[in-house]
Structure 1
Amino acid sequence: MKQLLIPLIFAVFLFASCQQDDEVTLMETGTVVDYAGAASCGIVIELDNGNRIQPLYYPDGFTFTQGQRVLVEYKELPNVIPTCDRGAASDISYVEELNCAPYVDLNFNNYDSLARDPVFVHEAFIDGDCLQIKLSYSGGCQEHTIDLARMHPWVTGSSNIPTLEIRHNANGDMCEALFTKELRFDLTPLKQEGKTEFVLTAKLADGEDYSEIFDLN
């Protein structure tokens, strides 16, 4: 079974069939980018060969998340014209997560280099070596970026528990449509350092701060 990627809206179906025998099956690696809220776009895979594809169909049970590295086997669907102009519509027959997105290191010199606009955190949990986060934000008129930052203490050795902070840049977006994203970030560096727990923080839309402790064991 395959599922249809809901955020992806298509303007024209020139033929009823989504798959044709003469279409070439390709296998490539790439990085997932979630363009939710930007020009009717959703999930786009930026392939390492320079091309971009939009997954119209893909295997059940797989969740695409921002920054994720994937291996995909796919066929482009030349007879389907997407409303989003950031890649070819594609039918993905196989997808494998290679790794999740890295976090960013922030310290005294660059603490303010990433914006701290508010989000709403639905859930966060550890899945293998990755931290998976589901969050929402308001917008619709600008492209948003979301990073996970490791906030290194100003004084070395002042804290043994790492702090990871969700950093959201709304680029001044004043629109009020609500968008939801799922993200996965790599926790391997913390485990390699022998860390056993960390704190996840974020600035929330109601003006409060989100804070939760996670066990790495």
Structure 2
Amino acid sequence: MVLILGLLGASGCGESGLGPDVPDNNVVLAGDGDWGDDPYVANSASVNGRGLTVEVEYSGGCRRHIFTLVISETFLESDPVQLPAELVHEANGDACERWVTDTRVFDLDLVRTRYRQFYGPGPGTVVLRVEGLPGEDLVYEFAG
């Protein structure tokens, strides 16, 4: 099983505490869903407060593209714990060829909730191991 963090731009979605462009439902627990397998390039990624920000590039521009951060349901035991993940892309059949650069933000609140289910209340640190993202460790720290 996997946790999913997805950014949906659809109207009617509530917003998270991260702002109006980050829906409150962008963190969900995955079942047997098909989350997409369309190509993209990840240029950068960083954790800022409760959010994971990723700059992506992809071909398209005519339809809404959905990026979902698929996160393992289980943590890897280390100090700090690690959480394997993969960023996936659903282009919704967009055949346009414009090269789009976009910044997506994922609310990490459910990661904190899952951490507390495994390790109890209080502060925590999780290293996100996101396959295909450039850069250093993505470290998510939160207070108690």
* TM-score, scaled relative to structure 2: 0.62
How far apart are residue 199 of structure 1 and its match? 1.0
Let me know the Cα RMSD of the aligned residues: 3.2
Corresponding residue of 2:107: 186
CA deviations on 1:8-58 (whole Å, 9 max, x unpaired) are: xxxxxxxxxxxxxxxxxxxxxxxx838xxxxxxxxxxx468xxxxxxxxxx
Classify 1:105/1:164 alpha carbon distance in 2 versus 1 (closer, same or farther; 3 Å). farther
> How far apart, in 1, do the equivalents of 2:128 and 2:35 lie?
20
Q: Is contact 1:163–1:199 with CA below 8 Å preserved after alignment?
A: yes
1:123 aligns with 2:44: yes
**Counterpart-to-counterpart distance in 2, 1:98 and 1:144:** 18
Larger Rg: 1
Shift of 1:163: 2.1
1:197 and 2:127 matched: yes
Aligned counterparts, 1:1-217, within 5 A: 33=9, 46=11, 68-69=15-16, 97=19, 100-101=22-23, 102-106=26-30, 109-110=31-32, 113-152=34-73, 159-160=76-77, 161-192=82-113, 193=115, 194-201=124-131, 209-210=132-133, 213-217=137-141
Alpha-carbon distance between aligned partners in 2 of 1:47 and 1:113, rounded to the nearest angstrom:
22
Matches of 1:126 and 1:134, distance apart in 2: 12
Which residues of structure 1 form unaligned runs of 5+? Answer: 1-31, 35-45, 49-66, 71-95, 202-208
Give aligned-pair identity as a percent: 23
| Paired residue total | 118
Would you say the 8 A contact 2:9–2:64 is kept in 1? Answer: no
Contact 1:100 / 1:130 at 8 angstroms: preserved in 2? no
- Secondary structure at the aligned position of 1:196 is classed as strand
1: CA distance between counterparts of 2:62 and 2:20? Answer: 32
Query: C-alpha distance in 2, partners of 1:216/1:100?
Result: 18
Contact 1:133 1:182 in 2 (8 A): yes
Any idea what SS the aligned residue of 1:171 has?
coil
Whether the aligned pair in 1 keeps the contact of 2:59 and 2:96 (CA below 8 Å) is yes
**1:168, CA displacement in angstroms?**
0.7
Judged with a 3 Å threshold, the aligned counterparts in structure 2 of structure 1 residues 200 and 175 are, in CA distance, closer, same or farther, namely same
Q: For residue 3 of structure 2, what is the aligned residue in structure 1?
A: none
Amino acid aligned to 1:190: V
Q: State the 1:215 CA deviation.
A: 1.7
- Partner Cα separation in structure 1 for residue 12 and residue 22 of structure 2: 15
Q: Deviations over 1:33-84 (max 9, x none)?
A: 38xxxxxxxxxxx468xxxxxxxxxxxxxxxxxx8547xxxxxxxxxxxxxx
